[in-house]
Amino acid sequence: MAGFDERLSLLKQEIVAQGRRVLDLCTQAVECCFDGDLEKARRVVKGDEAIDAADVAIERASVPLLAMGQTDEHAIRSVLTIVKVNNELERIADDGVTIAEKVLEPHRFTERLPDVFRVMANSVLGMLRDATRSLEREDPELARQVLLFDDTVAQFKAQILRETEAAVAGSKASVGFAFRLLAVTKALERVADHATNICEQVIYLKRGLIVRHRPEGWSEPEAPIR
């Protein structure tokens, strides 16, 4: 029977692979939103099945490790981080499916997507890419950089809301288009939120520090309670 370290190493490989799957799914979801590729949208929806299966497998493999009597703090944090990140990745994939499903709706995106939406979408994918890299490398500084970008995504969303309201009021966009655009924008915002949650876990893993989000913005990590 494999020991704790060997099993943990294999589990780390699985969570990193899951991160890559989710990033690929979300990238395809954004691409099909940009170009209206229905076949790619269907692949995104179908691809979620493999992510769900891996999610269950990772959770089932994680729980027994906590029962092996490990006392090293970093080792325990490693398992807890994998469990929490696994959940975040599964929810990110669900948001990617939400985007693809909007592309598959009968009316779809027949009107031009605003430029700021494209910037927001690419920025969120960048956050997700760096979140998965920070996890793979156990890099708290890269994780911190992702956290600092979260407010920018919120600003993009606010701008999209303002511009969409103005476009509908000026009869430059349909109400149906506005609803679909806002649904996709909210899905992207959730992807960014989950990406920052992953980065908080990376900081906790490496430094044992708790990261807090406050109304005025990201704060420095606080020392753990002894």
Q: Which of 178, 126, 180, 179 is nearest to 148 (CA)?
A: 126
Q: pTM for the whole thing? A: 0.88
| CATH architecture label of 4-218 | Up-down Bundle (1.20)
| Distance separating alpha carbons of residues 119 and 125, to the nearest angstrom | 10
Specify the pLDDT at position 147: 92
Specify the pLDDT at position 226: 39
Query: What is the distance, to the nearest Å, from the Cα of residue 134 to the centroid of all Cα atoms in its chain?
Result: 13
pLDDT digits (tens, 9 = 90+) for 145-195: 999 888 899 999 999 999 999 989 998 888 988 999 999 999 999 999 999
Check: CB of residue 143 under 8 Å from CB of residue 202. yes
Q: Which residues of 27-57 are buried (b: 16+ CB within 10 A; e: fewer)?
A: bbbbbbbeeebeebbeebbebbeebeebbee
The DSSP bridge partners found for residue 217 are: 214
pLDDT digits (tens, 9 = 90+) for 3-58: 888 999 999 999 999 999 999 999 999 999 998 899 999 999 999 999 999 999 99
pLDDT digits (tens, 9 = 90+) for 54-112: 999 999 999 899 888 777 888 888 999 999 999 999 999 999 999 999 999 877 667 78
